[in-house]
Amino acid sequence: MKRIYLDHAATTPLDKRVAKTMRDFELKYFGNPSSIHHEGQQARAEIDFARAKIAEFLVCKPQEIIFTSGATEANNLAIKGVVSHAIFKLGIKPHIITTELEHQSVYNVVKELADRGVAEASFIKPSADGLVFPEQIIKEIKDNTVLVSTIFVSNEIGSVIPVREISKQLSLIRANSRIVYHVDAVQAAKFFNCNVEKLGCDLLTLSAHKLYGPKGIGVLYVKTGTKIDSLLQGGSQEYGLRPGTQNTAGIIGMACAIELLGPLEERQRQAAEIKKLRDRLWDSIKKILGVEINGPVGDSRSPENLSITIYKTDQDALIAALDLAGFAVSTGSACVSGSSKPSHVIQALGKITDGPTATLRITLGKDNTKREIDSFIKTFPEIIKKLRQK
């Protein structure tokens, strides 16, 4: 049975060209990039080249690119680094504004800081169709607000957050304030413009394995002049913000994956093709009674994402049945997989009922085909019918 992979928001398959680039690099450049000898400086030079490629993608300076172990670490560094600076350098109890659409590596971090009394926090509730508006952010700003952190594209329901509009409204306030704007662009980079100057953000997070690159490597863009403390103590790597020997092969792989994304026009063309398949899938699924979409429709939704609620259906049984039928899908973020409880994002939409209810997230990638989508369209209604008869 040929497996059909429909969980690209969790991770993307490693591009064979990226794998070859990493393998060839590891066989040739094995030195520690912090060493001063020839082998070490060869590795260091390759990191510098990779840093420059990623900086070109974000339209920023190479020294504003900080390599981390992934998006979770990058988000933690962004949030806790700003909070630490506010507490120990500014001497204030900081206030953070974020949303209920965030990935766990933002949402849970902010919630923990608030629960411990380290910081104050405001969580913006999305509309019933999963949208957040700039006015909601601005309304929550206080004298001690030091950080606004928003996701660019929701990893669970595909909402596209108007980060440029948020930044524009923040700029009217930030001229005479210390507010830092952080954008989690992990799910956005495949299809959207991540030019940090146009986005108007101070911090931005990327992850390689969402872009057909390797796992275990991510980036935090830190705009020059942004006040942020390091979370770790050690060496002086990554401009003192992220000590430890760099994951050199991972860095090379990430730069290769980002380069293979191509220019914005190519990414938008690919997005349009994926959206056609996504819409074909939804046009069929929505005919099933007791099924509704989670999140927005139209341009406010990322092209690869389809998140649905299926009423009168057991969630665990549905995922298991689809897996046995050869389809890899998920209930939402892979970071909370295995939990039968609805995520904070789904709860924020008010989709919870007393009876059996399933949440299903289907996310498409560049290699999915019409034939694969039609196979899912044929199989899915049969599975729902059998589960509801039990």
Residue in this structure with the two tokens 């969580």, named with its chain if needed: 123
User: Which one, of 233, 311, 280, lies nearest residue 378 by Cα?
Assistant: 280
CA 137 from centroid of its chain's CA atoms? 20
Instruction: Please list the residues that pair with 124 across neighbouring strands.
Output: 99
The burial class, CB within 10 Å (0-12 / 13-18 / 19+), for 187 is: buried
User: Which one, of 42, 49, 79, lies nearest residue 65 by Cα?
Assistant: 49
Q: How far apart, in whole angstroms, are the C-alpha atoms of residue 232 and residue 238? A: 12
Token code pair at residue 8: 């690209």
> 200 CB contacts (<8 Å, ≥6 apart)?
163, 164, 167, 168, 170, 171, 181
What are the CB-based long-range contacts (under 8 Å, 24+) for 131-137? 131/159, 131/296, 131/300, 132/99, 132/101, 132/159, 132/161, 132/162, 133/162, 134/162, 134/165, 134/166, 134/168, 134/169, 135/169, 137/97, 137/166, 137/169, 137/170
User: Which one, of 69, 383, 64, 31, lies nearest residue 254 by Cα?
Assistant: 69
CA 142 from centroid of its chain's CA atoms? 27
The burial class, CB within 10 Å (0-12 / 13-18 / 19+), for 66 is: buried
Residue positions counted in the chain: 390
335 an active-site residue? yes
> 77 CB contacts (<8 Å, ≥6 apart)?
66, 68, 220, 228, 230, 231, 241, 242
User: Of 194, 201, 256, 335, which residue is the catalytic one?
Assistant: 335
Residues known to be catalytic: 335
